[in-house]
Structure 1
Amino acid sequence: MWHDNETSVDYVNFRIVAKACAELIRNAGDEPVSIGISGGWGVGKSSLVRMIETEFEADRAKYVVVTFNPWLYQGFEDAKTALLQIVGDAVLKQAKSSETLQKKAEGFLKRINLLRLAQLGGEVAATLITGVPVGLIGKSISALVNAVGNESVAEGLSAGKELPASAKGLLNDAKPVSLPHEIQALRTSLEELLKELDITLIVFVDDLDRCLPTTTIATLEAIRLLLFLRRSAFVLAADDTFVRGAVRVHFAGTGISDDMATSYFDKLIQIPLRVPRLGANETKAYIALLFLERARREGKLHVDAFNQAKQLVEERLRETWKNKNVDLVFLESLAPSGNAELTALMGLSERLAPLLLSSGAVQSNPRLIKRFLNTIFLRKALATPQGIDVDVSVLAKWHLLERCEGELADAIGEMVSSVNDGQVALLKKAEDEAKNAESRLPPPFGDKAFVREWLQLAPPLGDYDLRGLLHLSRDSTVRDYGSDDLSAEGKLLRDSLVAARAQSEALDDKIRTAGERQAALAMSRAWEQKRPSRKWQKAEELFILTEVCRIFPSAGPRAAALLAEAPTAQLTPGLVFHLKSSSWATESLSKWLADSNTPPNIKKVIQQEQN
């Protein structure tokens, strides 16, 4: 399995972007810089931030690096003061080599504490602003203790003693304090400290788009307090769409426009950067390296071989602009010679990537790709103890359909439930038709480009017993597969439905006797059994569906999936008329009406019935 945490290991050529961002910070010299890394959920923002951070690991004497995750503080502490405190602690640690600088750093921390007190409001804020001690022995002492974190503060104040060094000068002088002056003094003192320490402060802020709007705004306000100081750099990772939404919530009722919400964020960011979206080459390489990583963890691939493959991928991705693509030959070269399993997985990477890229449900999102592969290998692990022999490529092809075209997957599943051997003849027909770009796919496959590509994806499933495969996919949906699920009453009903030509009380009794679940299964099996002789001409051909659904309406969705097979060019008015009172057939009738292949007389009947 692959974890969902950020990583500094580069599989998709992000390292080039990370190095470029690090160079921007280094080349800024003493000038401030702010970089905004934007992108949607799961595209790799956190991983890119980690890669940028690792670029400074060898220069920690010149840089003090702070990583702040406001999401971790949400609901526990104000994000604004938490960020200031973390910065203050980092600077103090750097200044401990000099007594003079340490005192200055402690002074900077004291100013942070003052702002934390002001943030509390009430009596504490009144004392700071007016200079008159208000309620020092009441709630203000408690607030001061909570803010400064020192029990001796309360003890000292209650005993009339002098304040401890960490808080001295904040309250006991009872002098008015100008908060704007203190904010500027905080900025000035930090700037002077960084200059005297001869270091650059780099603050990485991540997971901002996971926070509630109040936490998001508080963090942005804290960044604003420290932003654009000399010898400082901020790297802010967030989905800019989410941040603009948080700004709109914060200013709700003020009439703020989308342009103003965008401007609020843009004023904090000097250099905007969107996380590069994976293309076809990057997607192939990413999937291949995930397969190789798994083999390395399991001891099936030597570490050196994995590192060499990773290096080859990095080099190839840097040269794709020269038409040096990540093709099948290249991918297979990453697997050790003679390792058939890994060679096959490299081929699977090459086949899956285009569909994972083009699918709107995945769009080559790294996080979704990991989840996709985790599901496949989980099902593979579940197959063995159940005696199900299924290849990873088969699991991958089926789960791709589940993930990207769920309705079609359900329709195929319903077909499987109506056959005895688990093989769907209509699926085989569709796979054959998909090879001809000019051919029209049979219902319910439709004419989507994705479905046509999926049908051509190896291995073909038309001759495959899908029962075991679909049994493993019960985490996605619950279906019934296999003729052995039919009870004696269900089998009797199946045979009666095959022979039925008209409605009868005897048939109704058999449907009721079989019960809701068995009746639906018997309907599917009878429908499949009649497939070879079905001409789509007579109303009696639909009795199998209409009679069961009349007694048990819950069978309607399954009947609708079976009806979707109908070739519109062969339909007759009598057959359409027979469906007029079947609510479960409404969607099929609407589709036939919109289908250009439906004969005009059939469309006229449908329109009359709908009016």
Structure 2
Amino acid sequence: MLSDKETDIDALGFEPYTNSLSELITEKGITPFTIGIFGSWGTGKTSLMLMLKKKLESQANVRTVWFNAWKFDDEKQIWAALIQAVLNQLAVTLGESAKLKLQELRNSIEWIQFLEFIGKSILSRGPDIEALRSSFKFGKKIESISDFEKRFEEFVDSCNIERLVIFVDDLDRCKMEATVDILETIKLLLSSKKCVYVLGMDYERVCDAVSRRFKESSQDVAEDYLDKIIQLSFHIPRRSEDDMKLYLRHLFALEYIEKGNLQSFTADMRQIEKNIDTTFLKLLKTYTESFSMDKYRALTEHDLLIIRENEFNPRKLKRFLNIYEMRRSLSEVLELNLENEYLIKFLLLQAKFSDFYRDLENYPGLLGQIKDVTSLTEEEKKEKLAKSELLQKYYADNELLRFLRDVPFGDVDPRPYLRIAQTAESEIVLGEKEKIILEDLMSDDAVKIGEGLKNFQGLDEEQKETIVRDLLERAEQVDAQVRRKSLQAFGTLREAVPEKLMADVVRKLIEKAKDENADVRNQAKWTYQGLKEVIPEGVL
């Protein structure tokens, strides 16, 4: 299985960007300066930031600090966690004079006043800091903030460095309050003349958090607020087809390349410009002789389709390959002798045409029936289609017909491939954080439900989908109370349900409106009525 952990190995061709950003960051006279690395989930923000961090660390007078905001999302004072992270990571290699400055900074009365004050006053006042500074009521406290800024500046100077680069990752995954608290801390306290901030985020999600925090703010005000903090915006570019073809092959090779050789293999791979398959295989053979050509062919035969269906998204592509590998391994263990080619084809079919795939699970002969219809005369087609609403529905889907033409299934029996998928996905694995959120959403306690919704909104799309899929499974359990509470949770989530799963949720509610248990039936109807106003057009 491929690790979902980000990497500083450049498999996506980010080097030109990290080179340019590194030059900019170390340029004289630029600080204080903040860079926003913008991209949606799975596009490679963290990997690019790790590569940039590694490049900067090779320079003698540059120090870096890494802060994963989401890991401290549950902290009541996340601003304090950020400052402590900066101080703690710098403290590791400090000289004696700098350590004294650090101790003074931590122990000063002003610092204690700052800790007590900041969470209650400044960060709850909104984006108008100048108005706050002019307020007599907060005069003495503002003096202590200014003192902290001065002491922080002196501390950074005592570290004998030219540049302090502070990376803040996963800002968009934080709860609304935490997101804005971090931005306020950067703006108000840590703008040393030697500091550069690199913030990784989904721009739209952070704008939304700012708008919701300052309730009267519009999207324009939120964007203006971010523009005042971020001087340079870098949007992760969509990778080209050739880049993604190489990345797909790189993911394939990870199973066979020794860790010690991975850096050099990746660097060599990035030099490939044409005849991708021939050149890549030649390169791979210089590193290892033991790899499966059958697996390689199965992946590369439909590489463009795989890439497009996963929206050119590196993390989605990795997830796709993990599902494929799980099904392939299970097939081997169960000695089913399934062909890799068809494992991939059925996985693509499931990803692109979920409604058809769901019907195929119930009526495996449907695939052959559609194929048969396409070969009939017009008169024969009319006669056959008149006998089946299912055939009418899917024969009218031109995109599905085009897919089945471009990705031929021949005379393969779908049943073992459908069964292996059901077996591999029968147990959804939740992390500890997702389990707590799920329990809160299914609680009858209003406080827990509210907290569960708030935390759910801070998750990335993959985590949200995992929780919603788990709720869909729970709606089928024998215990009627579990079924009812899972349906109740959908009513709590409302528009927070990922759009791609909204149709599944609606279908489940309609189905459960006929449940044998009256409480479940009523809950399904109430939830459905509450969801109707937020269901995207075309789902009903």
TM over 0.5: yes
The answer to whether the 8 Å contact 1:95/1:105 transfers is no
Q: Which residue of 1 aligns with 2:304?
A: 354
Deviations 1:322-356 (A, max 9, x none): xx446443444344289695444444443333223
Question: In structure 2, what is the Cα distance between the partners aligned to 1:431 and 1:65?
Answer: 65
Deviation at 1:23, TM superposition (A): 1.8
C-alpha separation in 1, matches of 2:317 and 2:292: 18
Unaligned runs of 5+ in 1: 123-175, 317-323, 434-440, 479-553, 555-611
Q: Secondary structure at the match of 2:37?
A: strand
Whole-angstrom CA distance in 1 between matches of 2:376 and 2:268: 38
Residue equivalent to 2:507: none
The letter for the 1-side match of 2:9 is V
- TM-superposed CA distance for 1:365, in Å, is 1.3
Residue of structure 2 in register with 1:336 after alignment: 285
What secondary structure does 1:424 align onto? helix
**1:558 alignment partner in structure 2:** none
Aligned to 2:227: 266
Q: Deviations over 1:403-445 (max 9, x none)?
A: 1211222344444257xxxx82533775999xxxxxxx99625
Partner of 2:8: 8
- The answer to which of 330-339 and 403-412 deviates more is 330-339
Question: Which stretch of structure 1 is more off in the superposition, 18-27 or 88-97?
Answer: 88-97
Aligned to 1:388, the other structure's residue is in SS state: coil
TM-score, normalised via structure 1 length: 0.58
Alignment of 1:62-73 (within 5 A): 62-73=61-72
* Aligned partners of 2:95 and 2:159 also within 8 Å: no
Counterpart check, 1:216 vs 2:160: no
In the comparison of the two structures, how many residue pairs are matched?
394
Deviations 1:244-289 (CA, angstroms, capped at 9, x unpaired): 111111011x2x2211111111211111011222221122111111
CA distance in 2, matches of 1:63, 1:428: 67
1:244 to 1:285, Cα distance in 2 relative to 1, 3 A? same
Q: Is the 8 A contact 1:244 1:265 kept in 2?
A: yes
Per the alignment, residue 436 of structure 1 pairs with: none
Q: Does 1:103 align with 2:100?
A: yes
Alignment CA distance shift 1:336-1:94 (3 Å): closer
Q: Is the 8 A contact 1:217 1:250 kept in 2?
A: yes
Residues 1:340 and 1:407: Cα distance change in structure 2 (over 3 Å):
farther
- 1:20-47 deviation line (CA, Å, top 9, x unaligned): 2222111245632211011111111111
Q: Contact (CA 8 Å) 1:29, 1:231: kept in 2 or not?
A: no
- Corresponding residue of 1:188: 150
Structure 2: distance between partners of 1:204 and 1:35: 10
Unaligned 5+ runs, structure 2: 122-137, 378-390, 427-510, 512-540
Matched, 1:470 2:418: yes
Compute the displacement of 1:185 (Å). 2.2
Matched, 1:240 2:189: no
Shift in Å, 1:226: 3.7
1:295 to 226, 238, 256: 256
> CA contact under 8 A between 1:431 and 1:456: conserved in structure 2?
no
One-letter code aligned to 1:336: K
Structure 2 CA distance, aligned partners of 1:257 and 1:72? Answer: 29
* 1:42 aligns to 2:3 (yes or no): no
* Offset, 1:230: 0.9
Report 1:52-91 matches (<5 A).
52-59=52-59, 61-91=60-90
| Residues 432 and 464 of structure 1: CA distance in aligned 2, closer, same or farther (over 3 Å) | farther
- Is the partner of 1:230 in helix, strand or coil? coil
Identity %: 25
| 8 Å contact from structure 2 (residues 10, 267) kept in 1 | no
Check 1:417–1:271 CA distance in 2 against 1; reply closer, same or farther (3 A cut). same
Q: Give the direction of change, closer, same or farther, for the CA distance of 1:226–1:446 in structure 2 (3 Å limit).
A: farther
SS of the equivalent of 2:8 reads coil
Q: Helix, strand or coil: the match of 2:271?
A: helix
Secondary structure class of the residue paired with 2:75: coil
- Equivalence map 1:106-505=2 (5 Å): 106-109=103-106, 110=108, 111-119=110-118, 178-199=140-161, 200-252=163-215, 254=216, 256-296=217-257, 304=261, 309-316=265-272, 324-325=273-274, 327-336=276-285, 342-359=292-309, 362-417=310-365, 424=368, 426-427=370-371, 444-446=394-396, 448-449=398-399, 452-453=402-403, 455-457=405-407, 460-474=408-422
Cα distance in 2, alignment partners of residues 451 and 11 from structure 1: 35
Q: CA deviation at 1:402?
A: 0.3
SS in 1 for 2:35: strand
Deviations 1:486-535 (A, max 9, x none): xxxxxxxxxxxxxxxxxxxxxxxxxxxxxxxxxxxxxxxxxxxxxxxxxx
TM-score, scaled to structure 2: 0.66
Q: What residue identity is the alignment partner of 2:165?
A: I
Q: Compare relative contact order (CA 8 Å, sep 6+) and give the higher one, 1 or 2.
A: 2
Cα deviation, 1:378-416, whole Å, max 9, x if unaligned, reads 111111232311122211111011012112223444442
* Offset at residue 56 of structure 1 (A): 2.5
SS of 1:235 mapped into structure 2? strand
